[in-house]
Amino acid sequence: MSVKTVYSVCGMCGVRCPIEVAVENGVCRSIQGNRHSPGIRGAICVRGAAGIAALQDDERPQFPMRRLGARGEGRWQRISWEEALAHAAEKLAEAKSRNGGRSILWSDAGGPFSDMRKALVRALGSPNFFGREAFGEVNTHHAALSLFGFGADRLVYDLRHARQVVLQNRNLFESIDVRQANELLDGLADGGRLTVIDIRATVSAAKADRFLLIRPGTDLALNLAVIRTLLAEKLYDAAFAGKWIADLEALERAVAGDSPEFAEAETGIAAGEIVELARALAQAAPRVVWHPGGMTARYRDSFLVSRTAYIINALLGAIGARGGLPLAAGSEDLNQKGLNRFVDLFPAAAEKRADAGGGRPAVYAQGPGLIHQAFQAIESADPYPVKTCVVYENDPLSELPDPGRIKEIFGRLDFLATITSAWTETAWHSDLLLPLSSYLERESIAGELPGLTPSLSLRRRCESPRYDTRADWEIISGLAGRLGVAPLSFGSAEEIWDRQLAGTGVRLRDFEARGIVPLTAEPWYAPLGAEFRFPTASGRIEMQNAEWRDQGLDCLKQVVVRPGLYACTFRLAVGGCSLHVEGHTVNNPILFKQMPENVLWIHPAAAASAGIADGDAVSVSGPGGTGRIRARLTESIHPEAVFMVRGFGRTLPVESRARGQGLADTALMAGGLERTDPLGGGLALQEHVLSVTKA
Amino acid sequence: MARHVIDLDESRCIGCRACEVHCQVKNRTPAGVRPGQLVAVGPERSRGEVRLAAAFRPCFHCEKPWCVAVCPVHAMVRRADGWVHVARELCVGCRACIAACPWKVPQWDETIGKVVKCDGCMDRVAAGLVPACVAGCTTHALSFAQANENVRKIRLHYARSLLVQKQRG
């Protein structure tokens, strides 16, 4: 019996933690975190541990399939890979010649290993590659762009060295970025202090020194009052502001009326607490992290919530600071040659993206894209017709609001193909299904992970595919070969890695000892030196971005639009938990057993007036429809909202465990595709009102 | 009691249950059988405080284990180094051990008709590793230590923090 360790990268959620897999005679036995990876030190979360069960599960697509009958009817014909790839290539070529490359939309999982897929989309002449961040994090990215001129991923959260951390719209201990979670706990053990602002008492709240239960949809008032306090009490870092902040006076004028008392009336948080928080942050400056939010597709003012969070960090001098939000380093910053990129082989499409219709501001083109708007172009043909869609490892029909509406939109497509390792609602609705090997059965291309300790990483094949599935590079190579895109057609993963690594000084064998190749020995903190400039017009952090303002996006304007709530009506709040973060975990045999259904969190006072007891079945209804779910009475939720974990209410007969369990949040979000943040452009999932009655 | 203990630092525990799953995967138990169990209460808010209490219950590996005494076929064994484990080939599935254990630690695996329980990952420990639950714990809340090692650490840490407070006045 031989047990060997294979270093790879987890694929159970978007974080992609480095792992090591115990492989016994060619079979994966167990998974833990990579022991050589800083911060991780062998740890892997519950979803990552359950990755083995996803590999062993036969309830996943096992061979290429072509649709028979109507879309979503579930009648499939097994076909060979040769047929499947030829069919997909033919459809893509046909789309390109008939409607132009821009009519092809690629909805992707994103992440560090997506370069080859991006390159194929470019080679087809389409600007329409959208990563997953285009859905949940777009407001945060846009907030960073409007202030700094760069996206959110250019800054790191130095949780290990921060003395004050504020988590707002970031439930770190349940969405679980293993490295960040450990760094924060290490920091707290060293005397760091944690404040959590949420409408729910989460695990993160349980770890906090200060938990502020906030009225849903009022975070902006809180942030504005903190900014005003920092300015009025002269608690901000005047030297930093003088050097790096443009238009401070405009900011001062904008927040002049936002007193802590005003914020108290809005948020339900005592004015004294707000002032106390501002003072505590100032004392710890610049070692402060006020998190601008991970998932910020929440309210109609989430862009401004995220933006004001960044402004607080800037006022405290935390931008660029150790223990604050230092710059992320990549190979370029270290004057090293980075990986050879496949996208560089092809010119970027000259066209604007499909999400640029409806007169939307041109500045959005700098961001990761608005996938919900791109989907609408399928129907409106504005800015141009989109007729072909490929979905790679994500599930618009369970992640985006209003699946009925999305099905209508998909109905206009000439061709919908899905590349997926697990069953998804979208795969079931497709014309062609290309089954991806599980992340434990496939290699990935190499990717660079920027950060304080930037590194190169790649996935290894831990086990041969159990079914007739393929790695993404095999699928892309197969398509590229048939489409005449020779530079993306490879015979082995080693050929790809060699090409990516050529001239970098890193060799493939460097990955063998530890799985990851760090680009620096020590964490790299870049000071904002004399020659540094933010990539904005002024070279500084812009409180009012003129380019954005000229396009109708006044970043200093307060937008307060709140839905009316009546007796027994609530805002719907949604999120993940440690066991289930994306729909594809619900049918995982181990994770399903741990949590087979979602429940509706409701405050006991609100429940009492509706005659609802703990464990009762309740009926929730909104304009879009009605659903049934069990109620969980808890003081852990604000009385104005009800909460449910996302991803449940699956409908597919091929998912025997998950089918029919719990309720899908997205089905209750009628009109949700159009409900967006007017400044940031992101979706506003928590702007839906439901009534709850005893079933 | 075994020479080693699996200890939980509650201040780091996030109640995610990775410990349970790492254990299940290592022991290849069905999804419903959990030799190690995390008992977590919360997060729950009451009177303004948010609490999350957690305890990990694999097996106490008792000094005088009732499960061993009651096993009619000597399948439940206490090794010289203290680990209490099931010799699977001997187990006849009578479940007397489950009835005898005051903590209900042994678990019934109906797919094999036998009892399974925490054996301290004695094979891993013999190979110089720590138990699977400890190795994979998401936040390094679990540790594997000599019986008095952690107690001593915590006692010292607490005493020192009192002294520091006193010094600062």
Beta bridge partners of B115: B108
Task: Judge if B39 and B73 occupy the same domain.
Answer: no
A581 in B contact zone (CB under 8 Å): no
Structural contact between residues A421 and A437, judged by C-beta atoms closer than 8 angstroms: yes
C-alpha dihedral, A87 to A93 to A98 to A103, nearest 10°? 100
Instruction: Find the residue in B nearest to A33 (Cα).
Output: B136
Pairing of strands B107-109, B114-116: antiparallel
Q: What's B60's DSSP letter?
A: -
Do B150 and B67 belong to one domain? no
* B130 and B79 part of one domain: no
Q: Looking at the complex, does the CB of residue A648 fall below 8 Å from at least one CB of chain B?
A: no
- Please indicate, yes or no, whether residues B89 and B136 belong to a single structural domain of this protein: no
Whether residues B54 and B65 share a domain: the answer is: no
Can you state the angle between helices A260-267 and A271-284, rounded to 10 degrees?
120
Residues B78 and B28 placed together within one structural domain of the fold = no
Answer for the pair A357, A372: CB distance below 8 angstroms, yes or no: no
Among candidate residues B73, B99, B117, the one where a domain is terminated: B117
CB contact A178 to B (< 8 Å):
yes
B9, B16, B26, B168: best mutation site toward chain A, by most A Cβ within 10 Å?
B16
ipTM above 0.90, yes or no: yes
Same domain, B74 and B109: yes
Asked if the Cβ–Cβ distance from B45 to A181 is below 8 Å, we say no
Task: Evaluate if residue B1 carries a pLDDT over 60.
Answer: no
Does the CB of B22 have a partner CB in chain A at under 8 Å? Answer: yes
Residue B9: list chain A partners with CB under 8 A: none
Axis crossing angle, helix A219-232 with helix A271-284, rounded to the nearest 10: 60
Structural domains of chain A sorted by starting position, each given as residue range(s) with its CATH number in brackets: 3-56 (2.20.25.90), 65-136+334-518 (3.40.50.740), 157-326+527-550 (3.40.228.10), 569-694 (2.40.40.20)
CB contact under 8 A, A30 and B24: no
Q: Which among A49, A205, A594 is the nearest to B22, CB-wise?
A: A49
Determine the structural domain holding residue B143 and report its residue range: 1-58+120-169
pLDDT exceeds 70 at position B167: yes
> At which residue do the structure tokens 């050929």 appear?
A495
Chain A positions touching B136 (Cβ under 8 A) are 31-33, 42-44, 49
Residues of chain A in contact with residue B139, where contact means CB-CB under 8 angstroms, are 43, 173, 181-182, 185
d(CA A373, CA A394): 17
By the 8 A CB rule, do A330 and A450 touch? yes
Q: Which residues of B touch A589 (CB under 8 A)?
A: 31
- The answer to whether B18 contacts A182, with C-beta atoms less than 8 Å apart, is no
Which two tokens mark B25? 């995967």
B-chain residues near A185 (CB < 8 A): 11-12, 139-140
Do B54 and B103 lie in one domain? The reply is no
Q: B26 contacts in A (CB within 8 Å)?
A: 29-30
Residues B64 and B27 in one domain: no
- The reply to whether residue B21 touches residue A594, judged by beta carbons under 8 angstroms, is yes
Identify whether residues B91 and B53 lie together within a single domain.
no
Q: Which residue of B has its CA nearest to A50?
A: B21
Q: Which residue of B12, B31, B43 is in closest CB contact with A593? A: B31
CB pairs < 8 Å spanning A and B: 114
The pLDDT tens digits for B24-42 are 999 999 999 999 999 999 9
The reported pLDDT for the residue numbered A466 is: 98
CATH number, domain containing residue B94: 3.30.70.20
Identify whether the C-beta of residue A663 lies closer than 8 Å to the C-beta of residue A629: yes
The predicted pLDDT at position A561 comes to 63
CA angle (B115 as vertex; B109, B118 as ends), nearest 5 = 100
Judge: B43–A32 Cβ closer than 8 Å, yes or no.
no
Are the beta carbons of A176 and B16 separated by less than 8 Å?
yes
Inspect the interface and report whether the beta carbons of B32 and A593 lie closer than 8 Å. Answer: yes
With CB atoms and an 8 Å threshold, state whether A634 touches B18.
Answer: no
Question: Are A636 and B44 an interchain contact pair (Cβ–Cβ within 8 Å)?
Answer: yes
- B88 and B161, same domain (yes or no): no
Closest in B12, B16, B18 to A185, CB measured: B12
Q: What is the pLDDT of residues B69-104, one digit of tens each?
A: 999 999 999 999 899 999 999 999 999 999 999 999
**Which residue, A309, A449, A344, is CA-closest to A123?**
A344
* Residues B48 and B98 placed together within one structural domain of the fold: no
CB A279 within 8 A of CB A312: no
Over chain A (695 residues), the average pLDDT of each successive run of 10 is 90 95 96 94 97 97 97 97 98 97 97 97 98 91 98 97 97 96 97 97 98 96 97 98 97 95 96 98 98 95 97 98 96 92 96 93 95 96 97 96 96 98 97 98 96 95 98 98 98 98 96 93 90 96 96 84 76 95 91 97 94 97 90 96 97 97 95 94 95 94
Is residue B4 less than 8 Å (CB to CB) from chain A? no
Q: List CB contacts (< 8 A) between B25 and chain A.
A: 29-31, 49-50, 52-53, 590
| Helix (H), strand (E), coil (C) string for A510-531 | HHHHHCEEECCCCCCCCCCCCC
The number of distinct structural domains making up chain B is 2
Q: How many CB atoms neighbour CB A431 within 10 A?
A: 19
Residue among A292, A325, A235, A305 nearest A263 (CA): A305
Q: How far is CA A539 from CA A214, A530, A533, in A?
A: 35, 12, 5
Chosen for mutation from A17, A29, A46, A601 (greatest number of chain B CBs closer than 10 Å) is A46
Tell me the nearest-neighbour CA distance from B165 into chain A, angstroms.
Answer: 14
Nearest residue in chain A measured CA to CA from B37: A594
Looking up tokens 């740890």, which residue turns up?
A43
* Per-residue tokens: A45: 């979360």
Smallest CA-to-CA distance from A164 within A55, A54, A48, A317 is with: A317
Q: Could you identify the residue written with the tokens 């909460």?
A: A643
Q: Is A636 on the interface with B (CB under 8 A)?
A: yes
Interface test with B, best of A24, A36, A173, A186 (most B CBs within 10 A): A173
Interface test with B, best of A32, A36, A171, A212 (most B CBs within 10 A): A32
Of the candidates B18, B20, B26, which has its C-beta nearest A30's C-beta? B26
For residue A202, the chain B residue with the least C-alpha distance is: B43
Whole-number pLDDT of residue B2: 67
Residue finishing a domain among B79, B96, B117: B117
The predicted-structure confidence for B106-128, as pLDDT tens digits, reads as follows 999 999 999 999 999 999 999 99
φ/ψ of A257, rounded to 5, equals -90, 0
Q: Tell me the shortest Cα–Cα distance from B69 to chain A, in angstroms.
A: 33
Which residue of A45, A160, A179 is the best one to mutate when testing the B interface, meaning the one whose CB has the most B CBs within 10 A?
A45
Question: Which position has the token pair 């419903």?
Answer: B32
